[in-house]
Chains A and B, each alone.
Chain A
Amino acid sequence: EDKVVQSPLSLVVHEGDTVTLNCSYEVTNFRSLLWYKQEKKAPTFLFMLTSSGIEKKSGRLSSILDKKELFSILNITATQTGDSAIYLCEVNFGNEKLTFGTGTRLTIIP
């Protein structure tokens, strides 16, 4: 059965800390993995990963994919209160199927 698991479910840290969010998957015919940030309404796209070992970076956020071990991590350095959100992982796989993880709720304490 195809599945996407995110961990932790919830994370509370202080401003300035670095966090690592994990997304593990078990799917057939993997195509790509996407990270989103969801604050109020629709999730906002962050990264799309298709190849192992190539880090995608945007400011304080970075992400990398390991297709051998079937997971991706999303790193946020020097966290700010504006980083508080739910972070979603989505995996695209065979036959145009899509699966979202349950998300990680990140709370940054000032």
Chain B
Amino acid sequence: EAGVTQFPSHSVIEKGQTVTLRCDPISGHDNLYWYRRVMGKEIKFLLHFVKESKQDESGMPNNRFLAERTGGTYSTLKVQPAELEDSGVYFCASSRGRGGLQFFGPGTRLTVL
């Protein structure tokens, strides 16, 4: 069974530019989560999809961040325009059922210059 994949693995952009991160969950997993680690070791929740619906987006920092999951399969997280403080590692995770074990992707490291 293929795991959660994320693309790209690393992105370097300039402040003000737009970046789109992609997450492909494990096939059949309805639940998809986005997290980010900005500094240190703490991981912050961003949002949770159940199929194509946003179940909880309370962790989205501001309206520069837009997450979509059209068709309930892969998800994208767009940052527009990117700011310096958006630099960090963005993780995606998926689970079959809500509350089930989440399988984490390898993360996308975003660097905003």
Contact = CB atoms under 8 A, between A and B. Distances in A.
B49 interface: no
Interface string B89-101: 1010100000001
Nearest to A97: B106
A12 to B, nearest CB: 15
Contacts of B10: 96
Given A86-B101, A105-B101, A36 B43 contact: yes
Contact of B45 (A36, A41, A86, A102): A41
A7 interface: no
Chain A contact residues (Cβ within 8 angstroms of B): what range? 20 to 34
Chain B contact residues (Cβ within 8 angstroms of A): what range?
Answer: 20 to 34
A98 B107 contact: yes
Is chain B's interface secondary structure helix, strand, loop, or mixed overall? Answer: strand
A11 interface: no
A42 B44 contact: yes
Nearest to B56: A41
6 contacts: A34-B41, A42-B42, A42-B43, A45-B42, A96-B10, A98-B106
Given A34-B41, A42-B35, A102-B101, 5 more contacts: A41-B48, A42-B42, A90-B104, A98-B107, A105-B101
